[in-house]
Amino acid sequence: MEAISESRCFGGVQGVYKHASDACGCDMTFGLFLPAEAEDGPVPVLWYLSGLMCTHAEAMEKTGAQQWAAEQGIALVFPDTSPRGEGVADDPAYNLGSGAGFYVNATQAPWAQNYQMWDYVAEELPRLLVNNAAIDENRQAIMGHSMGGHGALTIAMAYPGRFTSVSALAPVSHPSTSDWAKKPIHAYLGEGNVDWTRHDACLSLRANGFNGPMLIDQGTADPFIDALMPEALAAAIIETRHQGTVRMQPGYDHSYFFISTFMEDHVAFHAEALYA
């Protein structure tokens, strides 16, 4: 971990770090907020997975999450959304390539060489942080927005017992039946080759469940709501009788104004589970 910057923040430290990623075959950058309690030992951690076109920086700088995490004594991790740099494949489409890794391990050319975002977020980066920062690997929670909501939900369900809780803001909920969401995932994994039970939150919940509480917020004025399909996730929660809550927020869109409005709720939700 090479420190790019470290700034005092709500009694703790907001850092930005770079490291050579074996999973992605390039340098990766991420944000890490450590509350004051981390000076005395490992603290619980909340992972925040960002959406399309974001880097680590947008959520770190726009959500106000550090204030609420500092009050709860929780660390925050803000990974990047894709590999980047010279020689890394890209595409002109906003939902494919740079900033749009969709938290999958690509198997198709030209993406397979670097776009191993599932392994990076679920395996490599957690190991790096547990070994190099005051992070308690036994107390982890995960959340995300949009594409990152898709990643948070599917990763949480694939690792039973790792995460105490999962939440999402306007997540891509049912990509196997959403033409908009299917296109980039097919590009990475190959049409006909996708394990949708692993990469579709609705199907994964039905197949694998999740041993913890779930919180979903969706704005009713979100221009992407038809592609996000919150009603499908609500139906899966009801069908599986999961301890999940889906809240439709009147008038809110897909922006960071929406995210920042409900960030305190989500951090408090995870803190309750992390300290249970």
Which residues, 6+ apart, have CB-to-CB distance to 166 below 8 Å? 141, 142, 143, 152, 153, 156, 157, 210, 212, 213, 214, 215
Residue 60, SS3 per DSSP:
helix
Sign of CA dihedral 59, 41, 17, 157: negative
Q: 3-class SS at 33?
A: strand
CA separation for the pair 228, 222 (Å, rounded): 9
The residue with tokens 């050319």 is: 109
Contact 69, 267 (CB under 8 A): yes
Looking from the CA of 18 toward its CB, the CA atoms found within 13 Å total: 8
Q: Give the C-alpha separation, 190 to 188, whole Å.
A: 6
CA-atom Rg of the chain in angstroms: 17
DSSP notation for 233-271: HHHHHHHHT-SEEEEEETT--SSHHHHHHHHHHHHHHHH
- Among 79, 96, 205, 211, which Cα is nearest to 148's? 79
Count CA within 13 A, CB hemisphere, residue 259: 26
Show which residues are catalytic: 146, 222, 254
Residue with tokens 């069908």: 239
